[in-house]
Structure 1
Amino acid sequence: MTDQTPPATPLMSARRVSLIGALLVAVGPVSMAIYTPAMTELVHAFGVSQSAIKMTLTLYFGGFAVAQLVAGPLSDALGRRPIIIAFMGIYCAASVFALFAPNVETLMAARFLQGIGASAGVAISRALVRDLFKGEDSSRIMNLIGIILALGPALAPTLGGVLLGIFGWRSTFVVMLILGLTIITVATFALRETVTPDRSRLNVRTLGRTYLMLLTHRHFMTTAMVMSGALGALYAQATFLPFILMDEIGLTPAQFGLGMLMQSGFFFTSSLTVRFLMGRVSAYRLVAPGLGFILLGSLGTLSLAFGALSFLHVMIPVAIYAIGIAFIMPAMSTAALAPFGREAGSAASMMGFLQMGSGLLIGSLGALMGDAVLAMALLIPLMGAAACIAYLIYRSHPHLAEPEPKPVMPAPRG
């Protein structure tokens, strides 16, 4: 393991990295969020069961999670730019297949390929930040990425619901195609290469050793599992909420899209608050309060198993959980990748895999349970508890952690 110190003068400004990083990260959640309002419509369009349509989302998760393990290391060996362009090419081709899908089997295959294409965004965006910045600078950029990222998923369900009502479900894939082409254009003309390509690193045995090192690295695993319990819950909730809010509570697709603004809006507002607070305290000091919000949201979600369902009963705990995610994400993202320079792409890929994988696992377990309300009430609190336990383990071994930066204090006068 080697540690490459980011250059004193970055190749790209923090603002440019934040904007590009947010665009890359957003493609995955947006492709999920804009699609979810159409899921109940697709049941009727293809004349299939809910389970078949849920499988299109599960396959998207699966392709997204597993392909990250390839995208990050490829970007370490071949460069960030060409891998982004190649994977987004897959994403665009899959969007065309989905647009003209004649049956649900074709749609399943297209969604799986979309997940593969979108996977490069999460892994490479974090690696870009690690390539160029560290410490509190990295945390601030991760926070800004989070702020911009919140806008995409906030607007995507609303846009998806409106498109569904006016143009039908196929129009959502037109938007995805435009998004993919936009990212290819940005990567081609605005993104500067941040690593020196080294084809000798295309070695399966070496990659296997790197991933084994990460999986047995206590600092990496504890920080990554904090992120998995927090962010993974967002992906798991995406498999539950459409059926709870539309089938159980009775919202229309457009109302569902507007309702999801509650989750993204609270995340966006909280990210702005975190950015303000990081000017006064270390990002690391915001993690414990964030986990407090996650626990509170988990308890509210647990109450779904016992009380009468309503929109606010479902969404207030979801919004509180989202507040917690905004508080923990900057510090934990930075801490997880801090010890890894040369392996930044692989580490970012593994972290993304664990996040998506946890969401896929919990979403699949919920599908097996058959009752979306009960699944969400029981499984989401388990993810919140897992995040808190991982953080306690992380804090109990401070020698494993990146030194926690202190706020910059003004120099004494006189």
Structure 2
Amino acid sequence: MRRTLDHIKPTGSNLSCRNWPAMKANNPQPASTMTPRRTALLGALLTALGPVSMAIYTPAMPELVDAFSTTEGAIKMSLSLYFAGFAVAQLLAGPASDAFGRKASTVGFLLIYLAGSVLAAMAPSIDLILAGRLIQGIGASVGITVARAVVRDQFVGKEAASIMNLIAIMLTVAPALGPTLGGLSLAAFGWKSVFLLMLGFGIIAIGSVSLFLRETTVPDRTRLRPARLFKGYAEVLSNPRFTLASLVIGGSIGALYAQSTMLPFVLIGEVGLSPTEFGLGMLVQTGSYLAGSIALRKVSHRISGHRAVVIGLCFSAMGGIIMALSVALLPPSFLSIMIPVGICTFGIAFVSPHIITVGMAPFPHIAGSASAMMGFIQMSCGFLGGLAAAMIGAPLPAFGTVIPFMEFMAVGSYLAYLALDRRT
């Protein structure tokens, strides 16, 4: 019988590590671990940091063009720099959490995030906005990396997938709620308030980590030695299952990040929405993901993780096709843009929990590095999608080309995974 993703377990057990009679010698764990609820809530909070800091800023992008007498390209660059800082810094944030512990490394990176938020809020020029966004991206990179590593430290199998489901909800809902908060804040208090909101969110994150996060790994500073660092990443990337699983996430969730560089200019510039209307309109994306998550929870006991991924990717592919056709054949409107976005987002809810869990499963001894590399691939796909859109130039054709391509990339990556699965 063909093995599916559901049969890949890091230890051959579906029990949480708190119930294991003994841990592997190369992956010792501290005695005090967290409950699934605490792990999920803290993981969701940390995961939301990066997407919120990206999305809450998008309604202000057209206004910043006028505020600093600059170009759309310069403002888009501020988002690209955030992507770049976020993606690259994960490669350090993950090993740092293995070396110094999850808690200490998280607090350290969050302090960097706060510094970037203050710099951007007080910036008198576009150059300092760019610098602040880059620093913010570096600091925010720790959130998703540590969240996934903490889950992998403690749980496997369906228990891990359930926690990852909540984390994945925040990973997708946050970019949709962000524009709503940003649009309302922009209308009431101006563009600086958007960065002050990020500052407040960072303070809440540091407080929560300091009070509630327990250490879930045994720190080993030798993991930051260059030779061991490169060896760990080489081990992760040499696993084709991990790489293909990461590309599935990069194509699906990465598409959400890429489209955030286009949607403000499509819906505000082409369709004619105000920044506040744009923010509220993005609730379509939130509702779609929540609907997908609820549907997945209702059927998860009747279908395998493999079947859930197939269902989700079918929705993503269908949304991509409708998106490409609507841009090519219809005049832009709120519904012609957001209906296919909603279909794709509904599908992502089915894809991400299981794919993330099985992608991380083979690496209990370097969970931080594996999480970092998965996040790097995911964010890099979003960054490259945004870069491709900038090269195309016009936001509407870019939207109708780049996002469908990324959705199809996710489908193709999973088909390649299945082909590999059949040969082993």
**Whole-Å Cα distance in 2 between the matches of residues 317 and 78 of structure 1?**
43
- Choose 304-313 or 21-30, whichever is displaced more: 304-313
Is contact 2:17–2:156 with CA below 8 Å preserved after alignment? no
Residue number in structure 1 paired with 2:332: 309
Of 139, 155, 160, the match for 1:117:
139
Of 196, 204, 211, the match for 1:189:
211
Residue number in structure 2 paired with 1:369: 392
- Once the two structures are superposed, residues 252-284 of structure 1 have per-residue CA deviations (whole angstroms, 9 ceiling, x without a partner) of 000000111101110112112212222333333
Residue number in structure 2 paired with 1:74: 96
Of 326, 349, 353, the match for 1:326:
349
Aligned pair 1:394/2:417, yes or no? yes
Q: Secondary structure at the match of 2:301?
A: coil
**Whole-Å Cα distance in 2 between the matches of residues 151 and 377 of structure 1?**
22
**Whole-Å Cα distance in 2 between the matches of residues 215 and 27 of structure 1?**
26
Is contact 2:173–2:285 with CA below 8 Å preserved after alignment? no
**Whole-Å Cα distance in 2 between the matches of residues 400 and 131 of structure 1?**
30
**Whole-Å Cα distance in 1 between the matches of residues 162 and 359 of structure 2?**
15
Is contact 1:76–1:343 with CA below 8 Å preserved after alignment? yes
> Which stretches in structure 1 are left out of the alignment for 5+ residues?
402-414
Aligned pair 1:7/2:17, yes or no? yes
Is contact 2:179–2:282 with CA below 8 Å preserved after alignment? yes
2:379 aligned partner, one-letter code: M
**Whole-Å Cα distance in 1 between the matches of residues 225 and 277 of structure 2?**
49
**Whole-Å Cα distance in 1 between the matches of residues 387 and 229 of structure 2?**
28
Q: Secondary structure at the match of 1:279?
A: coil
**Whole-Å Cα distance in 1 between the matches of residues 51 and 260 of structure 2?**
10
Q: Secondary structure at the match of 1:396?
A: helix
Query: Cα–Cα, structure 1 residues 171 and 368, in superposed 2: closer, same or farther, change >3 Å?
Result: same
Q: Secondary structure at the match of 2:364?
A: coil
**Whole-Å Cα distance in 2 between the matches of residues 109 and 395 of structure 1?**
42
Q: Secondary structure at the match of 1:280?
A: coil
Residue number in structure 1 paired with 2:249: 227
Of 162, 168, 183, the match for 1:146:
168
Is contact 1:146–1:271 with CA below 8 Å preserved after alignment? no
Query: Cα–Cα, structure 1 residues 150 and 396, in superposed 2: closer, same or farther, change >3 Å?
Result: closer
Is contact 1:19–1:148 with CA below 8 Å preserved after alignment? no
1:3-82 equivalent positions in 2, closer than 5 A: 7-9=17-19, 11-82=33-104
Residue number in structure 1 paired with 2:280: 258
Q: How many residues align?
A: 399
Query: Cα–Cα, structure 1 residues 296 and 100, in superposed 2: closer, same or farther, change >3 Å?
Result: same
CA drift at 1:149:
4.6
Is contact 2:236–2:370 with CA below 8 Å preserved after alignment? yes
Is contact 2:249–2:378 with CA below 8 Å preserved after alignment? yes
2:324 aligned partner, one-letter code: L
> Which stretches in structure 2 are left out of the alignment for 5+ residues?
1-9, 20-31
Is contact 1:76–1:342 with CA below 8 Å preserved after alignment? no
RMSD, aligned CA:
1.5
TM, length-normalised to structure 1: 0.93
Aligned pair 1:200/2:210, yes or no? no
Residue number in structure 2 paired with 1:339: 362
**Whole-Å Cα distance in 2 between the matches of residues 291 and 153 of structure 1?**
20
CA drift at 1:66:
0.4
Residue number in structure 2 paired with 1:108: 130
1:279-298 equivalent positions in 2, closer than 5 A: 279-298=301-320
The percent of aligned pairs where both chains have the same amino acid is 47
**Whole-Å Cα distance in 1 between the matches of residues 209 and 293 of structure 2?**
26
**Whole-Å Cα distance in 1 between the matches of residues 300 and 33 of structure 2?**
24
Is contact 1:144–1:275 with CA below 8 Å preserved after alignment? no
**Whole-Å Cα distance in 2 between the matches of residues 248 and 370 of structure 1?**
14
**Whole-Å Cα distance in 2 between the matches of residues 319 and 399 of structure 1?**
33
CA drift at 1:222:
1.0
1:113 aligned partner, one-letter code: I
